[in-house]
Amino acid sequence: MLTLGIDIGSTTAKCAVLEDGRDFRAVSLRDSGVGTDGPQAAFEGVLAELGVSRRDIDCVCATGYGRAAWQDADLRASELTCHCLGGVYVFPGLRTLIDIGGQDAKVISIDANGSMAEFVMNDKCAAGTGRFLDVMAALLRRPVDSFAEAAARSKSPASISNTCTVFAESEVISQLAAGAAVEDVIAGVCRSVATRVGSLARRLDVREPVCMSGGVARNAAVREALSEYLQVPILFDERAQLFGAMGAAIYAAKRQSKE
Ligand code: ADP
């Protein structure tokens, strides 16, 4: 049995194909999300990698912000459910998952059976999401995937006091004009995201083990600052950005085996 999860996010599209509810056979990721050709490209990409067609897939489950718009789904499931399933698959016994995506952040408490117990979410404000980092990357003319390396060179991280993204942009411009080093500004920007999400997480009981998911999990500077803020180790897996798609494929497999 092959099941496919497609996670259509605000900035990226991800797919994962699972065999018999156990082993992932292929994944794909495209850097354009809902309302673009990214989801179709990710979908075709993962099928091509496996050398199969849509007919060979027993069940397709769509998740993410754009899941309602994906016509070719047999099922749909929330991002919370899917990230939780993906996280527990990669880290059995996981108790807290912190997902930072392109336009929102969620913290999920997971019970001892691997099911979601509680969650808190920020989907109202760009601060504390990938959007904040992307806005700063455009302003600094540096790719967001170079932020962790730059932040690691910082000797004195800048303090970004504004939580509003628009005001924080002006603050960064003023700091650069006053001679602040770019790496110190980048370290400050990464810390700012970690502090916002960390304070969201503190509304729940942050039980260990804790992991991060979503694209921002790939930024080691945010991971380290969040770990410092919450005073807990944060687990990371290279597939963190794919947890939603992986969880959707797992959800589809569970539903198929019930039928
Ligand atoms: P969504 O599902 O909402 O589209 P993702 O979970 O894919 O969002 O996360 C997208 C965010 O991840 C981007 O806004 C960007 O800040 C961040 N990101 C993506 N790739 C990388 C990378 N290689 N290094 C650091 N950050 C990244």
pLDDT digits (tens, 9 = 90+) for 193-225: 999 999 999 999 999 999 999 999 999 999 999
CA of 214 to the centre of ligand 1 (A): 6
Residues at CB less than 6 angstroms from ligand 1: 9-12, 33, 64, 101-103, 130, 133-134, 144-145, 214-216, 218-219, 241
Per the confidence metrics, is the pTM higher than 0.95?
A: yes
Reduced to 3 states (helix: H, G, I; strand: E, B; else coil), residue 219 is coil
d(Cα 249, Cα 41) in Å, to the nearest integer? Answer: 18
Which of 32, 63, 134, 241 to mutate to test ligand 1, by most ligand atoms within 8 A of the CB atom?
A: 241
Q: How far is the CA of 130 from the centre of ligand 1 (A)?
A: 6
- Taking Cα atoms as reference points, which of 163, 188, 218 lies closest to residue 11? 218
For ligand 1, pick from 70, 144, 222 the residue to mutate: most ligand atoms within 8 Å of CB: 144
What share of the chain has pLDDT > 70, as a percent?
A: 100
Burial state string for 139-174 with b = 16 or more CB within 10 A and e = fewer than 16: ebeeebeebbebbeebeebbebeeeebeebbebbee
Closest CA to 209 of 82, 128, 108: 108
> Could you read off the pLDDT of 108-162 as tens digits, one per residue?
999 999 999 999 999 889 999 999 999 999 999 999 999 999 999 999 999 998 8
CA distances from 120 to 6, 117, 154 (A): 23, 11, 32
SS (H, E, C) 9-66: CCCCEEEEEEECCCEEEEEEEECCCCCCCHHHHHHHHHHHHHCCCHHHCCEEEEECCC
Q: How far is the CA of 129 from the centre of ligand 1 (A)?
A: 9
pLDDT 10s digits, 19-64: 999 999 999 999 998 999 999 999 999 999 999 999 999 999 999 9
Neighbouring residues of 164: CB distance < 8 A, sequence distance ≥ 6: 125, 127
Q: What is the whole-number distance in angstroms between the Cα of residue 43 and the centre of ligand 1? A: 18
Q: Are 136 and 169 in contact (CB under 8 A)?
A: yes
Average pLDDT value for residue range 242-257:
97
What are the backbone angles phi and psi of residue 6, rounded to the nearest 5°? -125, 125
Return the residue whose CA atom lies nearest to atom 1 of ligand 1.
Answer: 9
Confidence label for 91 from pLDDT (cuts 50, 70 and 90): very high
- Contact yes or no for 209/91 (Cβ under 8 A): yes
- Angstrom distance (rounded) from CA 22 to CA 5: 14
> For residue 192, what pLDDT is reported?
96
